[in-house]
A and B are shown apart, each in its own frame.
Chain A
Amino acid sequence: MERKYLYLDYLTCIGCETCETVCDFIHGGNPHIRIYVTENKQYLPINCKHCDDAPCLRVCPTNAIYRDEDGAVRIAENRCIGCLACLQVCPYGVPFYSLKVKAITKCDMCAERREEGLEPACAEMCPAEAIQYGPLEMVLELVNERRAKNIPEHRREITKEELRKSVSSGYVLL
């Protein structure tokens, strides 16, 4: 089956918490996607990126981490020994050790839903269309399309001085 991607576009995310809400709802109060807020109040939803070259998958000593047919990086709970090696190498700090399950838990791209022919809930419900799910080409195209839509909304006449400042500082005027 074709590898699917679950991509979160921070440039279109509005921090509304819908993704975390629906993930929380279908996972009994333990969301796998969580919104973090920076000090200047930028909202960053973080979940497993299901990396192509996933360091967690390479480092797991018991081969408890595997990739399923849709490309999701999954945990075989019965093989997990709770050594947290995956957490050590994850650039996003995603793997979460659940004392209840006695294994690492994390986003599995809604494995149960995919079995029923449904898609990841966060992508289906995000009002801002900031979460895209599908094959790589499709995801990239949808992200570009969504961002392009914002350009005319943001565009206004800028003064020569502003333009000069924007170019010289490398700072993008939205």
Chain B
Amino acid sequence: MKGMKFSFLCKKKPQPTGKRVAIVGAGPAGLTAAGYLVCKGHNVDIYDKMPEPGGLMLFVIPEFRIPVERVRLGAKELEEEFEVTYYPRTKVMEGERLDEGDEFYERVVGLDELRENYDAVLIATGIWNVRRIGIPGDDLEGILSPLELLFWIKGHELGYVPGEKVPDLKGKKVGIIGAGLTAVDTAFECSRLGADVEIFYRRTIREAPAGAYEINILRNRGVKWFELVTPKRVIGENGRVKAIELLRTRLGKPDETGRRRPIPIEGSEFQVPVDYLVFAIGMVSTPPVNGEYLATDNRGRIVVDGRHMTSVEGIFAAGDVVNGPTKVGRAIKDGLYAAVSIDEWLRGEL
């Protein structure tokens, strides 16, 4: 197998420019930006809190979608052929915040320190937090974050997470709320580990972001699909999840996303017993700042201008941390165009 060729624009390292760029986050956006910048002769260092580069592609997206080897070899090529230096297990942060995957970092570096030590900084830290649902009982034991669950499973296969950390799902009933790609991937992995999986979604299969194609593959594997239901509360016993109480919904007028809004039907409550619950209802951007250091919007995403530059001169941002959850290809696109801006800015043309 060959690795992803992040430096697809050139064959070998050109004459060095002497400029140094720090990239925060070694996911698709960060690695692709690195590939572009090394092809322009800049020196690139990449900081990431996880033990090896690859981001969600490596630690969260299941192996059958993106092979680990493909990402690993790609990251290695940048290191060996283009002298990119990785600083793994290093979290870059101004202020404090708990994110998922934080158990892996061993060092913290300030974002401002990077700005002072490098000619330019690119933030590509992605989406390492999950949206909380905020219903009674959502903090019971047995409620798993989809991100955590997926990277425990994958991290264990990669040798970073001890086996006892991965819940034994064989024969267990796992309820998943949501119908996006994260929900679908979680369902695939739980079903592969022998769980009895049920997916609950508040609209119908037609509106499901993951699409009927993926959901029907799951149904053929024995995953149960419930549509037009919304969670009301989680029922526990001795502090542990026992069941989920759902309300039936009907679809009303289209909302701002163009999909028909689900309206809960009063008095339609019913309960479904579960051993584990996963709320896969969206992921949240995790910029390396908490506070006033640079501008973020009300959803925590970094605000950038047309040059991909943040409110701080010399610090750029790209990928899911700017756009919210998208797709690998869109993160790559953003990383590429941000890298073009950085190169022009470093040459004084922007």
- Chain A residues with CB under 8 Å of chain B are 14-22, 24-26, 38-42, 116-118, 121, 124-129, 145-146, 149-150, 153-154, 156-158, 162, 171, 173-174
Q: Quick check: B64 and A38 within 8 Å, CB to CB?
A: no
Inter-chain CA distance A129–B213, complex, in Å, is 20
Q: Quick check: B210 and A16 within 8 Å, CB to CB?
A: no
Inter-chain CA distance A145–B1, complex, in Å, is 9
Inter-chain CA distance A143–B300, complex, in Å, is 41
Any A CB within 8 A of the CB of B149: no
Known contacts being A19-B329, A125-B332, A174-B221, is A154 close to B210, with CB within 8 Å? no
Q: Quick check: B4 and A21 within 8 Å, CB to CB?
A: no
Beta-carbon contacts under 8 Å, B20-39 to A: 28, 32
CB < 8 Å neighbour of A171 from B70, B192, B220: B220
Other A-B contacts than A116-B11, A125-B6, 18 sampled, CB-CB below 8 A, are A18-B328, A20-B329, A38-B213, A39-B212, A41-B211, A121-B8, A124-B4, A124-B5, A125-B332, A127-B66, A127-B70, A128-B65, A128-B67, A129-B67, A129-B70, A156-B194, A157-B194, A171-B220
CB < 8 Å neighbour of B28 from A19, A127, A158: A127
Q: Quick check: B329 and A41 within 8 Å, CB to CB?
A: no
Any A CB within 8 A of the CB of B330: yes
How many A-B residue pairs have C-beta atoms within 8 angstroms? Tell me.
100
Inter-chain CA distance A162–B173, complex, in Å, is 19
Any A CB within 8 A of the CB of B217: yes
Enumerate chain A residues within 8 angstroms of B57, measured Cβ to Cβ: 127
A40, A116, A126 — most chain B CB neighbours (10 Å):
A40
Q: Quick check: A42 and B211 within 8 Å, CB to CB?
A: yes
Q: B220-244 toward A: CB 8 Å interface, digit per residue (1/0)?
A: 1110000000000000000000000
Interface size for B (C-beta < 8 A) is: 41
Give the residue name and chain of the A residue nearest to B6 (CB): A125
Enumerate chain A residues within 8 angstroms of B2, measured Cβ to Cβ: 124
Q: Which 5 A-B pairs have the closest CB atoms?
A: A41-B211, A17-B329, A153-B64, A40-B212, A124-B5
Shortest distance from the beta carbon of B12 to any chain A beta carbon, whole Å: 10
Inter-chain CA distance A160–B332, complex, in Å, is 44
Q: Quick check: B330 and A17 within 8 Å, CB to CB?
A: yes
Main secondary structure of the interface of A (DSSP, over half): loop
Give the residue name and chain of the B residue nearest to A26 (CB): B9
Beta-carbon contacts under 8 Å, B176-198 to A: 191-192, 194
In the assembled complex, 14 residue pairs joining A and B whose CB atoms fall closer than 8 Å, in A order, are A14-B65, A16-B329, A26-B9, A41-B210, A41-B214, A116-B11, A124-B8, A127-B71, A128-B65, A153-B62, A153-B64, A153-B192, A154-B64, A174-B217
Enumerate chain A residues within 8 angstroms of B63, measured Cβ to Cβ: 153
Beta-carbon contacts under 8 Å, B80-127 to A: none
Inter-chain CA distance A96–B317, complex, in Å, is 35
Inter-chain CA distance A74–B65, complex, in Å, is 32
Any A CB within 8 A of the CB of B143: no
Q: Quick check: A118 and B8 within 8 Å, CB to CB?
A: yes
Any A CB within 8 A of the CB of B333: yes
Any A CB within 8 A of the CB of B19: no
Inter-chain CA distance A128–B2, complex, in Å, is 11
Enumerate chain B residues within 8 angstroms of A20, measured Cβ to Cβ: 329
Q: Quick check: A127 and B4 within 8 Å, CB to CB?
A: yes
Shortest distance from the beta carbon of A3 to any chain B beta carbon, whole Å: 20
Q: Quick check: B8 and A22 within 8 Å, CB to CB?
A: yes
Known contacts being A40-B212, A117-B11, A162-B222, is A125 close to B5, with CB within 8 Å? yes
Inter-chain CA distance A107–B118, complex, in Å, is 39
Any A CB within 8 A of the CB of B216: yes
Beta-carbon contacts under 8 Å, B57-80 to A: 57, 62-67, 70-71
